[in-house]
Chains A and B, each alone.
Chain A
Amino acid sequence: MDFLNAFVALANYVLVPGIAYGAQLALGALGVTLIYGILRFSNFAHGDTMAFGAMVTILFTWWFQSMGINFGVLPTALLALPFGIAATSALLLGTDRLIYRFYRKQKAAPVILVIASMGVMFVMNGLVRFIIGPDNQRFADGERFIMRARDFKEMTGLSEGLAFKTSQGITIVTAVAVVAALFWFLNRTRTGKSMRAFSDNEDLALLSGINPERVVMVTWLIVAALATIAGTLYGLDKSFKPFTYFQLLLPIFASAIVGGLGSPLGAIVGGFVIAFSEVTVTYAFKKVVGYLGPEGWEPDTLVQLLSTDYKFAVSFAILIIVLLFRPTGLFAGKSV
């Protein structure tokens, strides 16, 4: 029986990666939920928007690296982030002007906007692959670890190590800062409140003199920032590959729906629910069980519920359970 080692092993493989992944999903889901709340459709292009933002950030990172500019122990990508956000904002506002506004003027049904967003998704997908290619790209630099597993072992004398990557630390700090800023904006500023009012009751917002085009524009700008930050953090933490971002769409939508579409708080909670479910279900508990069980009881198998190859099945299963039993999500958003 060795609770401490069991806990450290669990923290190293489940807790820390789960928090980082959850923060990334939460940022992605916030974008989806804002679009749903204001523009009233599920934006299928969100994953590829994240890929585009991350791509521009990577290109600027490489350029900075080639000029010898760096951010010390932190990744250069953080310096490039504002440029990625600016480019993504331009892309999203352009897309809105070209495509979504047309359907908005026609008062098209949400399903038509969803299909339009799928078209946008394919175009963005192609654009990203055309510019940066379909392969894996590495762009992380700076100090790789805040704490290495070996240092932790030496420090504590435990046989299990706890590693904490810089990218995980940055993800958590950035996510907290971004979410705090977003909630401050939505709850304290005039523009933020007008967005909530528009999301709550569009007709009454119009009667109060709120300009819908301005609300939509501000929404796209916020979504561009959220998507770029989420995409870059995910790329720093794992790696950048356009196809992975397309696949991220499922856990992101699952997060937004589990939390309740249209509810920002729900998106955050949903992100962590999905992330921890995915990480826990696909983690091999052999080591933990070995520490907790009596001497010699260590199992022969990995004690893994599901192979990591099937991790998407987890979000899919949760999505279906939520849709069946609580279609408005945990925080009573809009029913799908």
Chain B
Amino acid sequence: MSEPFLIGDAMTGGYGTGADILHECTVSVDKGEVAVIVGPNGAGKSTAMKAVFGMLNLREGSVTLDGEDITALTPQARVAKGMAFVPQTNNIFTTMTVEENLEMGAFLRRDDIHATIDQIYDLFPILRDKRRQAAGELSGGQRQQVAFGRALMTQPTVLMLDEPTAGVSPIVMDELFDRIIEVARAGVTILMVEQNARQALEIADKGYVLVQGRNGYSGSGKDLLANPDVRKSFLGG
């Protein structure tokens, strides 16, 4: 089997000059697949994701995208390389309209973005109705869709989601997971961090359970769900 599309290999590091949060943590995902990072609070799930996106200094380890070493690139440069990141909070421009949010997502693109905007509206029909409304006036689930859409505007090859379903109702959560699968089917590689471990692992091709900044368990989503240790420790039996 060929090398995975995106690899964060043996990443060790923390924020600024502070203590290390990650210890030789490795995550990888194949093209068009969904990888999910789960684990208890404070395990460094979001930190691992940010490390892959270049938002903290790695002391050791490397990040490789499509065979190219991108460890030294800034997050902005990684956006230009086709990576997109949806932060957990503050992930929309609240004072701007839905459509302006999407336009800003495509800021680096110089070509016609209308077709992409239409695709986003097809993916999230509610956004088409609310296109002229300030994004800050939308509900939690709709905001998440705007954030999702903004990130997709660059037509990324890798989409990274930091707890996309935090604070939304179960119905909206199912809906969002469906959309995530839809995006992955279109060939976008997805790496995400999730609190709702069970549901996330159900849709995951690959799962990582982090424990105190280290790889605890890893395997396919199904394997992890079937693993008695993982079930006992992280999925509530």
State whether B95 touches A200 (Cβ < 8 A). yes
How many contacting A-B pairs (Cβ < 8 A)?
A: 56
Known contacts A194-B104, A194-B107: A207-B85 contact under CB 8 Å: yes
Q: Which 8 A-B pairs rank lowest in CB-CB distance, beginning with the nearest?
A: A209-B108, A200-B93, A197-B104, A208-B107, A200-B95, A209-B107, A209-B79, A197-B93
Determine if A203 is an interface residue (Cβ-Cβ < 8 Å): yes
The smallest beta-carbon distance between B161 and chain A, in angstroms, is 13
Q: Is the interface of A mostly helix, strand, loop or mixed?
A: helix
Determine if B219 is an interface residue (Cβ-Cβ < 8 Å): no
Determine if B92 is an interface residue (Cβ-Cβ < 8 Å): yes
State whether A204 touches B107 (Cβ < 8 A). no
* Chain B residues numbered 91-144 whose CB sits less than 8 Å from any CB in chain A: 91-96, 100, 103-105, 107-108
State whether A196 touches B87 (Cβ < 8 A). no
Set of chain B residues within 8 Å of A207, measured between Cβ atoms: 75-76, 79, 85, 87
- The count of chain A contact residues (Cβ–Cβ below 8 Å) is 15
Determine if B90 is an interface residue (Cβ-Cβ < 8 Å): yes
Add 15 more A-B contacts to A204-B90, A206-B76, A208-B79 (CB < 8 A).
A194-B107, A197-B100, A200-B94, A200-B96, A203-B87, A203-B90, A204-B87, A204-B93, A205-B93, A207-B79, A208-B107, A209-B107, A209-B108, A209-B154, A210-B107
The smallest beta-carbon distance between A8 and chain B, in angstroms, is 43
* Chain A residues numbered 187-219 whose CB sits less than 8 Å from any CB in chain B: 190, 193-194, 196-197, 200-201, 203-210
State the CA gap A206–B90 with chains docked (Å): 13
Known contacts A209-B76, A209-B80, A209-B108: A204-B96 contact under CB 8 Å: no
The smallest beta-carbon distance between A331 and chain B, in angstroms, is 11
Set of chain B residues within 8 Å of A193, measured between Cβ atoms: 96, 100, 103-104
Set of chain B residues within 8 Å of A210, measured between Cβ atoms: 104, 107
State the CA gap A209–B85 with chains docked (Å): 12
The smallest beta-carbon distance between A192 and chain B, in angstroms, is 11
Set of chain B residues within 8 Å of A190, measured between Cβ atoms: 103, 107
Set of chain B residues within 8 Å of A206, measured between Cβ atoms: 75-76
The smallest beta-carbon distance between B228 and chain A, in angstroms, is 40
Chain B interfacial positions (CB closer than 8 Å to A): 75-76, 79-80, 85, 87, 90-96, 100, 103-105, 107-108, 150, 154
State the CA gap A196–B95 with chains docked (Å): 8
Set of chain A residues within 8 Å of B108, measured between Cβ atoms: 208-209
The smallest beta-carbon distance between B35 and chain A, in angstroms, is 20
State the CA gap A210–B104 with chains docked (Å): 8
Set of chain A residues within 8 Å of B80, measured between Cβ atoms: 209
The smallest beta-carbon distance between B77 and chain A, in angstroms, is 9
